[in-house]
Amino acid sequence: MRPDKLKEHIFSTYKNVRFGIAAIGFGFPFVLGLLGYLYGIDLQNSMSAYYWAASTGYPPMRIWFVGILFVVGVLLYLYKGFSDGENWALNAAAACAFGIALFPMPWDCAPSCARFTVHGAFAVVLFVCIAYVAIRCTEQTLRYVRDERLKHKYRVVYRISGACMAVSPLIAFVLALVFNDINKYVLAFEATGLWAFGVYWWTKSAELAHSGAELLALHERIAT
C-alpha cells in the first residue's frame, strides 16, 4: 500500500468512529419508532419506554434499545479526545450509556412512580458530558482551522448543539415532573437531544478534516 493510501486508511478509523456515533445519534429515535411500527407497537411516550414495549411474535424492543446504547457506550469509551478533560468526559458519557441500558425506567408504578430515578440521572449526565465536550473542548482543534469564517461556523454549531444536548433532557425531565407522567413531549425533547448529539459528531469530523489536527498530533506538532 502506498504511503498516502496507508495514511488515509489509518486515519479513516477515527473518522469512521465519529461518523458511526453521529449516525447512531440521528437514527436511534427513527429505529425505535420504525421497528415499533413494524412490530405493531404504538409510538411510545419516551425512548426509554421502548425498553418495556413488546408485541406477540416479535422480540421485545429492549433488545434494540439496550443494544444500541451499548454500541454508543463502547464507541464513546474507545474514542480518545485531544485532552485529559475531554477524554474523561467521553468516558463518563460511555459509563452513563451503559447505566441507561442497565437501569431501565420504572414501569407500571403510576401514580406512585419515583420522581428521580437512576435511569434518568444517567441520561441527563450523559448529555451534559457531551455538551461539555462540544462547548468547552473544541477550541483545542478549532485553532488549527485557518479559514476564520469556517472556524466561526463550526464554533456556532458546537455551541448550539451543546446547548441543545444540555437543555433537551432537562426539559424532558421537568415536563415529567410537572405533569407527573411521561407524555410524547418527552419523546420529542429526547429525540432533539440525540439529533444535536449527531450534529456535533458529524461536524467534528468535518472540522478535523479541515484542521488536520489529528495528523499534527501524530507528528507531535501540537499540544493541548
Per-residue pLDDT of the chain (224 residues; tens, 9 = 90+): 676 676 667 677 888 899 999 999 999 999 999 999 999 998 888 888 899 998 888 889 999 999 999 999 999 999 988 888 999 999 999 999 999 999 998 877 666 667 678 988 898 899 999 999 999 998 888 988 888 999 999 999 999 999 999 888 778 777 666 665 556 677 888 899 999 999 999 999 999 888 877 766 666 566 66
Long-range contacts of 85-88 (CB under 8 A, 24+ apart): 85/136, 85/137, 86/133, 86/137, 86/140
* Residues 6+ away with beta carbon under 8 Å from 200: 22, 130, 133, 134, 157, 158, 161, 162, 165
Residues 189 and 1: their CA atoms lie apart, in Å, by: 47
Q: How far is CA 100 from CA 137, 146, 206, in A?
A: 24, 40, 29
Residues 34 and 32: their CA atoms lie apart, in Å, by: 6
Task: Spell out the domain ranges in the chain.
Answer: 3-218
As given in the structure block, the three cell numbers for residue 58 are 416479535
pTM above 0.85, yes or no: yes
Number of Cβ within 10 Å of residue 12's Cβ equals: 11
**179: buried, middle or exposed (CB in 10 Å: 19+, 13-18, 0-12)?**
exposed
